[in-house]
Amino acid sequence: MKILGIETSCDETAAAVVVDGARILSNRIASQVEIHARYGGIVPEVASRQHILAIIPILKQAMAEAKATWGDLDGIAVTAGPGLAGSLLVGVNTAKAIALAQGLPITGVNHLEGHIYANWLDAGTLRAVPIFPVVCLIVSGGHSDLVLMRGHGDYVILGRTRDDAAGEAFDKAARILGLGYPGGPAIEQAARNGKANSIQLPRAWLKGTSDFSFSGVKTALLRLVEKGMVSNIVDAAAGFQEAVVDVLVTKAIAVAKEHRVKQILLVGGVASNKVLRQQLAQNSSIPVLVPEPVLCTDNAAMIAACGYYRFRAGKVDGLDLDVIPSLKLS
């Protein structure tokens, strides 16, 4: 089954063609990072206009690279939410136009579910196949969730952030330290030359729950900077990264053990962080699966992979498919 995936929920315009939810024929991404960098964050109106400019060229590239014609496709999977309304609309309307013109079925994908399904890409060939039940640690710009997945499309939310998401915390900390945007890669890069233990930052354990909180560590960093107590930026970046990773790793392992799962799936943009990947793999006795870094950040291959399993389960949408900016995983 050959699925075209389309993703425009935030600031990446992406299209991909994937066979049977696993084999990537093409995976094209047009990033708007440089455009938003000058504002220090994503400007929603600018993002949607950029998507309009980029979507057709990206689609053409993805189809050409896959050597696919419209007639070769079996369906279209498109991110319907969560995300920025104006950005999501570009992808959803483009997908509906192709579906109508080519008589193809369409399925609306939850972006977070898409991140999870990045773990099925190349599974069985280049990497291990996920085995249920699994615990997913979803860490992105908008989410930090711990989710029990008992089968395809079967989710139980065990914990979530009560304030900032992990990626959001990285972005804010980078701004505080003057490291620019996007913050996650900037902090990781700076931290490589820093000593994490030269700065004391708090960890919010929220004992007795599987929830997270990252606003405290961010505020603590801000106070230290304001008081002139941060003399070395790279040490501060390393200390901040360690504080966030420490909590994510400890809580994910605890939840995975409690629910006796077979594997932990680490997903979302923050999952491209090397220290997080290493710490989780080293400290967990339960096997950890994590996609290649380029498949952790926003892409359309993961949406196509998720779409394949949705089609298999008969989850086909009509041409009345609409965007849901605050769509929840359920």
Instruction: Write out the residues near ligand KG4 by the rule CB under 6 A.
Output: 10, 140-142, 167-168, 170-171, 182-185, 188, 268-270, 272-273, 297-298
Cβ at position 207, least distance to ligand KG4 in Å = 25
* Binding test (CB under 5 A) with Zn ion, winner from 171, 188, 235, 298: 298
Of 80, 97, 135, the residue nearest 303 (C-alpha)? 80
User: Which residue carries 């104006």 as its tokens?
Assistant: 86
- Rounded distance between C-alpha atoms, residue 304 and residue 73, angstroms: 11
- Rounded distance between C-alpha atoms, residue 202 and residue 126, angstroms: 39
User: Which partner from the list ligand KG4, Zn ion, none does 142 bind, CB cut-off 5 to 8 Å by kind?
Assistant: ligand KG4
Residue 11's CB is within 10 A of a number of other CB atoms, namely 26
Of 206, 249, 14, the residue nearest 109 (C-alpha)? 14
Q: By CB under 5 A, how many residues form the interface with Zn ion?
A: 2
Which of 136, 270 has the CB closer to ligand KG4?
Answer: 270
Element holding 321 (H helix, E strand) = none
* Strand pairing class (134-139; 23-31): unpaired
Cβ at position 111, least distance to ligand KG4 in Å = 6
Extended beta strands in the chain, E state: 2-7, 12-19, 23-31, 75-81, 106-110, 134-139, 144-151, 154-160, 263-267, 288-289
Helices and strands of the chain, counted as H and E runs: 11, 10
Cβ at position 111, least distance to Zn ion in Å = 6
Which of 63, 173 has the CB closer to ligand KG4?
Answer: 173
Which of 142, 239 has the CB closer to ligand KG4?
Answer: 142
Which of 73, 221 has the CB closer to ligand KG4?
Answer: 221
Q: x-or-dash pattern for Zn ion, window 134-173, by CB under 5 A?
A: ------x---------------------------------
User: Which partner from the list Zn ion, ligand KG4, none does 75 bind, CB cut-off 5 to 8 Å by kind?
Assistant: none
Which of 188, 298 has the CB closer to Zn ion?
Answer: 298
Applying CB under 5 A, which residues contact Zn ion?
140, 298
